[in-house]
């Protein structure tokens, strides 16, 4: 328990990436692993850094990009949580996903050459902007970058399918919590603790449920001792049982 | 938990030394720190955010009825003296409008688990008007079906019949709080509130017949002309009425702040030593009669919900003192009413003109408020722990707020050391515990954790 934690009352809630430098990536960098795993040389690392621009902070509700904006870059979340969504002609919102630090957004704009969705900050957000033309050029010389891009794209597509299909509200919510818990754990959070930057309305929309249903199921999970909810903080108290509930979706 | 609830140890000399100005901490930060820069937009944002919680909190409504037929001279509440019952109609129009506007902002599944009518004098309204208000709240919010829901009202027995109390209770109000203050005619004349034991008993009987499950009587010590003998007689009469709860407030004489108090002859006020005797005998007589000291100025019978909440650690503090209900979002309706939604406090306009003008223009009548910052939240939690459970678990606290307790609170802990030397608290690296004698001085203990305590321009009532 160091002195630095004294001033960081929100430490447990919002992971802020430490700043990288010419020789080191931010701890949550989307491409950090590529270089570390494959031993990219310092010159290449430097080149990658040259095409990265730190952007933000965006305030809650601000858009990183909007539907129809010309595609020029992909973004990696550095800190905070980003929601992607589309809004139909009647003004109805459809939530596509939530993106945590280290995750990429804008990949689905590569083909249409314009962003097919909005990316909105759910809390104060900082991002890294990768100019796509420059990244493509670099990728021809650094195969690791290209592979990582492909890997991320296919993971993205796989993730979307998780919540389609005919599943009960219990199964959907359990799967949502288990998967989100995994992503938080990958980011170095204490196992089983999540901070929900998204509103229950957003969760409900994403899972195609009513907001009241989300709360009713969560309250029941809490009464059963599976989770503990305190405001926006959520702890997975009995992850194995949640996993069992989510199995029909997760083991598909 | 507290070892023995009735082991409240009274130490005269000790308490005299702590008789300094201290807030009552019905909120932290306290109301004088609210700012005019917090308005309708900020409240609406807070409501929207609270709707987004994974399990949104239930709601608690406070409804302020500011009118009184007669001025009690000790009063420091926001109220308007009038005999014109017609004023109620104009006020109710706005109150209904406010309920409608506010309810539209809360998601439909956020029901009322708590409701409190305060004043002023809520029974300035007639039964039909009051029931109409209850109905409107039910229609717009929906009521919790939890049998533990707390619906309360303050009643002035001088203007409340037995039948009035019965009808209100039958309409679902299950807690009644009755102002007594003192039964001695000499004191009653000095404070301009003449009220018989029979009138008081009639309201209690009516409320019980209607199904109210908890009845509270309010007393005030430190009023003009009170003597230990006269107040002992009042206490005996009160105990004989056997209310479920008793609140014994210390009178705060602040005539420069509260105009009505200028009617009180300060030479008739009991001196500091007599005030202490009055408090001491209140505690001794009430505990001897079987009442449990809940904390600060509240007492309850052992089988009352409040005493149960104290013993199982589920007690909470809010603007009405103590409550058995966990974190609700509090919505304040009416002139000067205070709300507490999410991390914000907000207060309505303190005069009818401002209150009416906002609502007549379709705006919420928020006049000031505050968004709690991280430090406020941390300190509010510490104060809540100490004032309600009398016990603060350091490790759990550090985990909740991700901080190093001794480092964060080094100044508070330094101040607390003097209180520890006086036996008000026991602290170890693992926990801080309020001792039985400390339960009288919770305001002083909480003050150690108050970052605003040294604000120069705000005067608080004395802690004892």
Contact (CB<8Å) B378/A219? no
CA-based nearest distance A176→chain B, Å: 13
Q: What is the pLDDT at residue A53?
A: 81
CB contact under 8 A, B402 and A203: no
pLDDT at B324: 63
Distance between CA B444 and CA A85 in Å, rounded? 52
CB-based contact, B146 to chain A, within 8 Å: no
Interface residue of A15, A120, A189, A215 to substitute, partner B, most B CBs within 10 Å = A215
Of B51, B53, B403, the CB nearest to A9: B403
Chain B residues with CB-CB distance to A10 below 8 A: 374, 402
Of A2, A199, A212, Cβ closest to residue B52: A199
The predicted-structure confidence for B392-438, as pLDDT tens digits, reads as follows: 999 999 988 889 999 999 999 999 999 999 888 998 999 999 987 78
Question: What is the CA angle A199-A204-A208, rounded to 5?
Answer: 155
Residue ranges of A 177-196 with Cβ closer than 8 A to chain B: 196
Inter-chain touch B51–A199, beta carbons under 8 Å: yes
List phi, psi (to 5°) of B449. -100, 5
Cα→Cα distances B229→B184, B232, B240, B277, Å:
10, 5, 17, 10
Tell me whether residues B108 and A234 touch, CB distance under 8 A.
Answer: no
pTM of this structure:
0.84
Percent of chain B with pLDDT strictly greater than 70: 93
d(CA B433, CA A93) in angstroms, rounded, equals: 51
SS3 B289: coil
* B429 contact A CB<8A: no
Q: CA–CA distance from A49 to each of A46, A125, A150, B41, B364 (Å)?
A: 5, 20, 20, 42, 51
Are A81 and A123 within 8 A, CB to CB?
A: yes
Give pLDDT, residue B233. 96
Enumerate the H helices of B365-450 as residue ranges. 374-388, 394-401, 405-408, 410-421, 442-447
Instruction: Return the residue in B47, B49, B54, B394 with the most chain A beta carbons within 10 A, the one to mutate for interface testing.
Output: B54
Cα angle B245-B251-B253, degrees, rounded to a multiple of 5 = 160
Count residue pairs from A and B with Cβ separation < 8 A. Answer: 61
CB pair distance less than 8 Å for A200 and B407:
no
SS3 of B423, please? coil
Contact A9 B401 (CB under 8 A): yes
Q: Are A50 and A33 in contact (CB under 8 A)?
A: no
Edge-to-edge, what's the strand order for the sheet holding A233-236?
A193-195, A233-236, A227-230
**Confidence band, pLDDT 50/70/90 cuts, at residue B376:** very high
The dihedrals phi and psi of B400, each to the nearest 5 degrees, come to -60, -40
Which residues, in sequence order, are CB contacts of A9 under 8 Å at separation 6+? B374, B375, B377, B378, B401, B402, B403
Helix, strand, coil proportions of chain B in percent (round to 5)? 40, 20, 40
Q: Which residue has the tokens 């309810």?
A: B103
For residue A138, CA distances in Å to A33, A47, A108 come to 16, 8, 20
Q: Does A235 touch chain B (CB under 8 A)?
A: no
- Closest Cα in chain A, distance from residue B377 (Å): 10
B411 touches chain A (CB under 8 A): no
Query: What burial class does residue B412 get, using C-beta atoms within 10 Å of its C-beta: 0-12 exposed, 13-18 middle, 19+ buried?
Result: buried
How many CA atoms lie within 13 Å of B19's alpha carbon, on the beta-carbon side? Answer: 18
B107 to chain A: which residues are within 8 Å by CB?
A: 211-212
Local confidence pLDDT in tens for the 252 residues of chain A = 333 333 333 333 444 444 554 444 555 565 655 544 444 555 666 666 667 788 878 999 999 999 988 888 888 888 889 999 999 888 899 999 999 888 888 887 777 788 889 999 999 999 888 888 877 777 777 777 777 777 776 666 555 555 677 888 999 999 999 999 988 888 777 788 888 999 999 999 999 899 999 999 999 999 999 999 988 889 999 999 999 998 888 886
Of B79, B122, B118, whose CA–CA distance to B260 is shortest? B79
Distance from CA of B462 to the nearest CA of A (A): 33
3-state secondary structure of B433: strand
Segment 48-67 of chain B within 8 Å of chain A by CB: 49, 51-56
Q: B23: which 2 tokens?
A: 């807030």
CA Rg value for chain A: 19
State whether residue B108 sits within 8 Å of chain A by CB: yes
Q: At B218, is the secondary structure helix, strand, or coil? A: strand
Nearest to B38 by CA among B346, B340, B332, B359: B346
Chain B: give the shortest CA distance to residue A76, in Å.
26
Q: Which of B422, B425, B421 is nearest to B446 (CA)?
A: B425
Closest CA to A163 of A72, A222, A96, A229: A96
- The 10s digit of each residue's pLDDT in B222-243 is 999 999 999 999 999 999 999 9
Kind and range of the H or E element at B197?
helix B197-210
Q: pLDDT at residue B9 above 70?
A: no
What are the backbone angles phi and psi of residue B244, rounded to the nearest 5°? -75, -30
Token pair, residue B302, equals: 């052992």
Give DSSP secondary structure letters for A40-77. --HHHHHHHHHTEEEEEEEPTT-EEE-TTPBP-EEEEE
Which residues of A fall within a CB distance of 8 Å from B398? 1
Query: Which of A41-55, B31-45, B353-367 has the lowest average pLDDT?
Result: A41-55
B52:A12 CB<8 A: no
Q: Reading across the β-sheet that carries B425-427, which strands appear in turn?
A: B391-393, B431-434, B425-427
**Nearest Cα to Cα of residue A207 among A235, A251, A168:** A168
**Crossing angle of the two packed helices A169-186 and A200-207, in degrees rounded to 10:** 110
- Whose CA is closest to B461, among B79, B20, B33, B73? B20
Using the Cβ of A12 and the Cβ atoms of chain B, whether some distance falls under 8 Å is answered with yes
Choose among A8, A12, A234: nearest Cβ to B54.
Answer: A234
């Amino acid at each position: 328990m160091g002195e630095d934690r004294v001033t960081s009352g929100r430490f447990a809630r919002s992971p802020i990436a430490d700043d990288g430098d010419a020789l080191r990536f931010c701890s949550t960098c989307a491409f950090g692993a590529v270089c570390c795993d494959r031993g990219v040389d310092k010159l290449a690392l430097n080149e990658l850094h040259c095409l990265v621009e730190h952007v933000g902070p965006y305030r809650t509700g601000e858009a990183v990009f909007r539907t129809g904006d010309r595609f020029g870059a992909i973004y990696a979340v550095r800190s905070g949580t980003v929601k992607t969504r589309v809004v139909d002609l009647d003004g109805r919102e459809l939530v596509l996903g939530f993106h945590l630090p280290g995750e990429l957004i804008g990949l689905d704009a590569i083909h249409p050459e314009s962003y097919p969705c909005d990316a909105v900050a759910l809390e104060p957000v900082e991002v890294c902007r990768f100019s796509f033309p420059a990244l493509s050029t670099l990728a021809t010389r650094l195969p690791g970058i290209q592979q990582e891009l492909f890997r991320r794209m296919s993971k993205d597509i796989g993730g979307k399918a998780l919540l389609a299909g005919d599943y009960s509200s219990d199964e959907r919510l359990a799967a949502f919590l288990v998967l989100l818990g995994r992503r938080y754990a990958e980011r170095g959070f204490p196992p089983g603790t999540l901070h929900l930057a998204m509103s229950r309305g957003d969760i409900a929309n994403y899972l195609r449920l009513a907001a009241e249903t989300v709360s009713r199921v969560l309250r029941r999970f809490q009464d059963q001792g599976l989770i503990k909810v305190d405001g926006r903080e959520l702890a997975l108290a009995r992850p194995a049982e949640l996993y069992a509930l989510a199995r029909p979706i997760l083991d598909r | 938990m507290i070892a023995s609830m009735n082991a409240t140890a009274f130490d005269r000399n000790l308490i005299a030394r702590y008789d300094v100005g201290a807030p009552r901490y019905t909120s932290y930060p306290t109301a004088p720190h609210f700012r005019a820069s917090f308005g309708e937009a900020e409240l609406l944002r807070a409501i929207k955010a609270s709707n987004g919680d994974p399990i949104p909190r239930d709601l608690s409504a406070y409804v302020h009825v500011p009118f009184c037929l007669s001025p009690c001279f000790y009063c420091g509440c926001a109220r308007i003296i009038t005999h014109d019952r017609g004023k109620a109609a104009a006020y109710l129009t706005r109150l209904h409008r406010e309920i409608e506007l506010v309810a539209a902002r809360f998601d439909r599944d956020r029901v009322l688990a708590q409701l409190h009518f305060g004043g002023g004098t809520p029974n300035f309204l007639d039964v039909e008007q009051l029931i109409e208000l209850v109905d409107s709240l039910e229609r717009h919010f929906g009521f919790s079906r939890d049998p533990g829901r707390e619906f309360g009202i303050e009643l002035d027995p001088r203007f409340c019949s037995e039948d009035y109390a019965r009808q209100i209770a039958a309409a679902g109000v299950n807690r009644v709080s009755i102002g007594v203050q003192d039964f001695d005619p000499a004191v009653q004349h000095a404070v301009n509130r003449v009220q018989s034991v029979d009138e008081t008993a009639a309201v209690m009987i009516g409320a019980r017949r209607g199904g109210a499950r908890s009845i509270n009587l309010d007393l005030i010590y430190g009023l003009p002309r009170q003597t230990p003998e006269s107040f002992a007689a009042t206490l005996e009469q009160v105990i004989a009425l056997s209310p479920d709860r008793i609140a014994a407030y210390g009178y705060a004489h602040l005539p420069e702040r509260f105009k009505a108090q200028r009617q009180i002859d300060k030479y008739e006020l009991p001196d500091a030593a007599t005030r202490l005797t009055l408090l001491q005998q209140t505690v001794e007589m009430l505990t001897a009669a079987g009442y449990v000291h809940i904390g600060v100025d509240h007492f309850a019978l052992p089988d009352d919900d409040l005493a149960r909440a104290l013993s199982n650690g589920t007690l909470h503090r809010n603007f009405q003192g103590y409550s058995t209900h966990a974190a609700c979002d509090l919505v304040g309706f009416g002139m000067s009413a205070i709300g507490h939604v999410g991390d914000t406090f907000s207060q309505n306009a303190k005069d009818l003109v401002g209150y009416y003008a906002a609502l007549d223009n379709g705006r919420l009548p928020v006049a000031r408020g505050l968004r709690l910052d991280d430090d406020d939240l941390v300190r509010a939690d510490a104060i809540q722990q100490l004032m309600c459970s009398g016990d603060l678990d350091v490790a759990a606290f550090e985990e909740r707020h991700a901080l190093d307790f001794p480092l964060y609170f080094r100044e508070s802990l330094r101040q607390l050391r003097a209180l520890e030397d006086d036996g008000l608290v026991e602290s170890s690296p693992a926990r801080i515990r309020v001792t039985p004698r400390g339960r009288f001085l919770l305001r002083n203990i909480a003050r150690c954790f108050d970052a605003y305590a040294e604000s120069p321009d705000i005067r608080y009532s004395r802690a004892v």
